[in-house]
A and B are shown apart, each in its own frame.
Chain A
Amino acid sequence: MSHQYTIALAGNPNAGKTSVFNALTGARQHVGNYPGVTVEYKEGLTQHQGQSVQVVDLPGTYSLTAYSPEELVARNYLIGRRPDVVVDVVDASNLERNLYLAVQLMELGVPLVICLNMVDVAKTRGLKIDADKLSRLFGVPVVSTVARQNQGMSELLAAAVELAESEPEWHPLNISYGSDVDQGVDEVADILQGAQERHGLLSARWLAVKCLEGDQEVIERVRETPELAEKLLPVCERVAGHIKSTMDDDPDSIIADYRYGYITGITRQVVTSEREVRMDLSDKLDQVLTHRLLGPLLLFAVLYGIYNFVFWASEVPVVVLENFFGWLGGAVEGALPPGVLRSLIVSGIIGGVGGVLGFAPLIAFMFFAIAIMEDSGYMARVAYIMDRVLRIFGLHGNSVMALMVGGGLSGGCAVPGVMATRTLKDPKARLATILTVPFMNCGAKLPVYSLLIAAFFAHRQAEMLFLLTLISWGLGLGAAKLLRVTLLRGEQAPFVMELPPYRAPTMKGLVIHTWERTWQYAKKAGTMILGVSVLMWAAMSFPGLPQEQDAAWQKRIDAASTASARLELKSGRAQDELAGTVAGRAGRALTAITAPLGFDWRANVALVGGFAAKEVIVSTLGVAYSLGEVDPEHSQSLSQRLAAEPAWNSLKAFALIIFVMVYAPCLATVVMIRKETGTWRWALFSVAYNTLIAYLLALAVFQGGRALGLG
């Protein structure tokens, strides 16, 4: 798409960038992904007086250091792509801290427009901000806006386009960091001046400041030119050492002090406070919502409420979708002649993709609930309340949401659970959380549990489910701790986090959030899942029975006198068929390994199939135990069959439950882990880690139980 100008939206998290973006572009957007990191950016188009303008929503940052992936992404975008204009969305009710980024943008020198957003909030807090004066003092256009009510948007766009039309140069702002630091900066900048052409259009002074701040990214770049590095780095070290000895502080903290000094010098002239608000409504709400006793109770009530809401609201749409795919399968079955093609389309494609898409409403509602928690500001409080507990296991307060979504209350899905870890900034805690999510009891494991519980623990159904929830949390947190003291060992990243004020979410915001995430989930069904379900279908269909065996079965079926006898024979054939397929053979081969757990080849086939989706376990067991296709919702007869089977007992069933709870996450989850961690390594690790733990646990349960004379 061609466009005349590009406007990049920068700003602190929660300042209203996305609201501005949506107001400008009408949310006709394209969600992209920065390579290497799972930070997303959005691009959209808008019109201004017949010119088409591209708007880019950058990730929210507090600063332009190279401290977090968001910051790095935002900075590299600004430097690498050089948008025509940068609009810094500033929260007017929180001006000082927001201007810290604005000043850094000016130091970098980008053509800047300040969008003074949330002036309505500032007003209710009794703050009066003189936008014209701010504009004069900073020397950049300032436009007051209320993004969530579309106020000031055309003025903002006009100001940005006007600036872009003047084809502005980059004008780095020079502010003084005190004579000692300034001297050091000059010294370093002089050396860089000589090598200027290497740095494109970045000013030598900016680079010098970054070197003194100890900015790893910039220093790395300097190192790429060994002659320069040789001259420069010792000087940096000497200057930094000198500053440290004379001022008793690091250069970067002195620089930050002066930046804030510069900002307060300006805000003092621009902001007048009509009254001093000590405790606003948001603080009062916090007194209740994070109260020592009420806080946790309310949190539990909210999570429980969400869980119930999601399942209640999605019940009908899920059934509708399931019926639709059932109908579609039936229609295709009727339209095509029996054979491989029909089986491929019905079982492989429609069955596989439908299984994933059928869950989409549930996932959409879960995301809707999460969006409410996020947009209202409550999510940050959940992290605040839970942090002390989760920290023990090397996780973070924010991990709790991912674990809940992943099935912490039993029922849920690990795919959005893994996605929900995006709110975690600490990379190691995030990775640990991602690898913990698959331990939760997702909705697909529940049919397996209910089957086995009905067969062997029928008198204790509710207690068993509750016990399994506890076990999954215990195992998940234990596994997280294990990772955090081994592979993911390391200092915890700083927690220091903003608690945004409580706000009423807007419907538009909620819908957009929900849609974006649900779409990502659904998109997968059309690509990865499609391929894999076809593969699984093939593994469970080929090679078919040899011609003469099939003919023999057919003859017996034809000869059967009653309908029930015919059905029995058909199941017999299905079982025979399955045993001969690739999956069946794999199941047999695996018995050498799984025998100590008490699993026979039938259980193995089901577990192999369950790797595609855990729901498959029940249906495969059904085939293997010669019942024909078993509907996971109505596994009554299968559970009776298992209970009657002499080779099965409650100990074996419990070992299988534990194994199913813990072993390899389903394929969709593995793909999502790959996507969110950026490498196959962690995705494959999670398969191995979970399967190993599952094996050891099931072994301990089965052999331990036998030693105790159980089962």
Chain B
Amino acid sequence: MTPEVTLRQLRPGQRAVVKKVGTGGELGRRMREMGLLPGTEIQVIGRAPLRDPVEIKLRGYNLTLRNNEADFITVEIGEAL
């Protein structure tokens, strides 16, 4: 059984699949147009020096979002790097 966690809880290097984007409005739209949708594979590349924001890789490019935005994204952890 793979546990479901939010994107904030992932460690650098970890891969996961997006299960749910639990927000609408501007933030939700922004995430969607950047391709962050259920089913998308992501990998955490790293975190900024103050541990926020987080940098992830998806669909072959890199995206950054703040931790409080990452909270809306539920993921299923895949294999670690």
Q: Give Cα A166–Cα B62 distance, bound, in whole angstroms.
A: 40
Q: Given A62-B33, A256-B33, A497–B64 Cβ distance below 8 Å? A: yes
Q: Given A256-B32, A499-B64, A286–B55 Cβ distance below 8 Å? A: yes
B19 at the interface (CB under 8 A from A): no
Residue of A nearest to B24 (CB): A250
Q: Given A283-B62, A388-B53, A493–B26 Cβ distance below 8 Å? A: yes
Q: Give Cα A257–Cα B35 distance, bound, in whole angstroms.
A: 9
Q: What 1/0 mask marks residues of chain A from 265 to 306 whose CB sits below 8 Å from any chain B CB?
A: 000000000000010001100110011110110000000000
The residue that A65 contacts in the complex, of B21, B33, B55, with Cβ under 8 A, is B33
Residue of A nearest to B50 (CB): A388
Q: Give Cα A125–Cα B60 distance, bound, in whole angstroms.
A: 10
Ranked nearest first, the 5 interchain pairs of A and B with the lowest CB-CB distance are: A388-B50, A63-B33, A256-B32, A499-B62, A494-B27
Q: Given A62-B34, A100-B33, A290–B61 Cβ distance below 8 Å? A: no
The residue that B48 contacts in the complex, of A97, A278, A290, with Cβ under 8 A, is A290
Tell me the residues in window 38-79 of chain B with beta carbons closer than 8 Å to chain A beta carbons. Answer: 38, 43, 45-46, 48-53, 55, 57, 59-66, 69
Write the nearest CB–CB distance from A479 to chain B, whole angstroms: 23
A290 touches B60 (CB 8 A): no
Residues on the B chain within 8 Å of A62, using CB: 33-34
Chain A residues at the B interface, C-beta cutoff of 8 Å: 62-63, 65, 67, 93-97, 100, 125, 127, 250, 252-253, 256-257, 260, 278, 282-283, 286-287, 290-293, 295-296, 380, 384-385, 387-389, 391, 397, 493-501
Q: Given A256-B32, A387-B66, A494–B61 Cβ distance below 8 Å? A: no
A496 touches B62 (CB 8 A): no
A496 touches B49 (CB 8 A): no
Chain B residues at the A interface, C-beta cutoff of 8 Å: 21, 24, 26-38, 43, 45-46, 48-53, 55, 57, 59-66, 69, 81
A495 touches B34 (CB 8 A): no
A97 touches B37 (CB 8 A): no
7 contacts between A and B (CB under 8 A): A97-B59, A97-B61, A250-B28, A256-B29, A257-B38, A295-B49, A391-B66
A296 touches B49 (CB 8 A): yes
B35 touches A96 (CB 8 A): yes
Residues on the B chain within 8 Å of A391, using CB: 66
B66 touches A96 (CB 8 A): no
Q: Give Cα A257–Cα B21 distance, bound, in whole angstroms.
A: 11
A96 touches B48 (CB 8 A): no
Q: Give Cα A501–Cα B35 distance, bound, in whole angstroms.
A: 17
Residue of A nearest to B40 (CB): A260
Write the nearest CB–CB distance from B25 to chain A, whole angstroms: 9
Q: Given A94-B60, A97-B34, A496–B24 Cβ distance below 8 Å? A: no
Q: Give Cα A296–Cα B55 distance, bound, in whole angstroms.
A: 16
Residues on the B chain within 8 Å of A380, using CB: 64
How many residue pairs, one in A and one in B, have C-beta atoms under 8 Å apart? 120
The residue among A250, A291, A391, A494 with the most chain B CB atoms within 10 A of its own CB is A494
B24 touches A253 (CB 8 A): yes
A497 touches B63 (CB 8 A): yes
B65 touches A94 (CB 8 A): no
Q: Give Cα A96–Cα B58 distance, bound, in whole angstroms.
A: 10
Q: A67-B29, A93-B60, A500-B62 are in contact. List 7 more A-B contacts (CB 8 A).
A: A278-B81, A286-B46, A295-B48, A389-B50, A496-B65, A496-B69, A501-B61
Q: Give Cα A388–Cα B68 distance, bound, in whole angstroms.
A: 11
Residue of B nearest to A249 (CB): B24
A494 touches B69 (CB 8 A): yes
Residues on the A chain within 8 Å of B55, using CB: 286, 290, 384, 499
A384 touches B64 (CB 8 A): yes
Residues on the B chain within 8 Å of A501, using CB: 61-62
Write the nearest CB–CB distance from B15 to chain A, whole angstroms: 9
A388 touches B48 (CB 8 A): yes
The residue that A67 contacts in the complex, of B30, B37, B38, B65, with Cβ under 8 A, is B30
A286 touches B59 (CB 8 A): no
Q: Give Cα A193–Cα B52 distance, bound, in whole angstroms.
A: 49
Residue of A nearest to B67 (CB): A388
Write the nearest CB–CB distance from A656 to chain B, whole angstroms: 37
The residue among A62, A291, A495, A496 with the most chain B CB atoms within 10 A of its own CB is A496
The residue among B30, B61, B65 with the most chain A CB atoms within 10 A of its own CB is B61
A256 touches B37 (CB 8 A): yes
Write the nearest CB–CB distance from A398 to chain B, whole angstroms: 12
Q: Give Cα A391–Cα B81 distance, bound, in whole angstroms.
A: 32
B32 touches A384 (CB 8 A): no
The residue among B21, B59, B62 with the most chain A CB atoms within 10 A of its own CB is B62
Q: Give Cα A495–Cα B31 distance, bound, in whole angstroms.
A: 10
The residue that B29 contacts in the complex, of A125, A252, A282, with Cβ under 8 A, is A252
Write the nearest CB–CB distance from B50 to chain A, whole angstroms: 4
Residues on the B chain within 8 Å of A256, using CB: 29, 32-33, 37
Residues on the A chain within 8 Å of B43, using CB: 278
Residues on the A chain within 8 Å of B29, using CB: 63, 65, 67, 252, 256
Residue of B nearest to A293 (CB): B49
Residue of A nearest to B66 (CB): A495
Residues on the A chain within 8 Å of B81, using CB: 278
Write the nearest CB–CB distance from A268 to chain B, whole angstroms: 13
Q: Given A494-B26, A494-B69, A253–B32 Cβ distance below 8 Å? A: yes
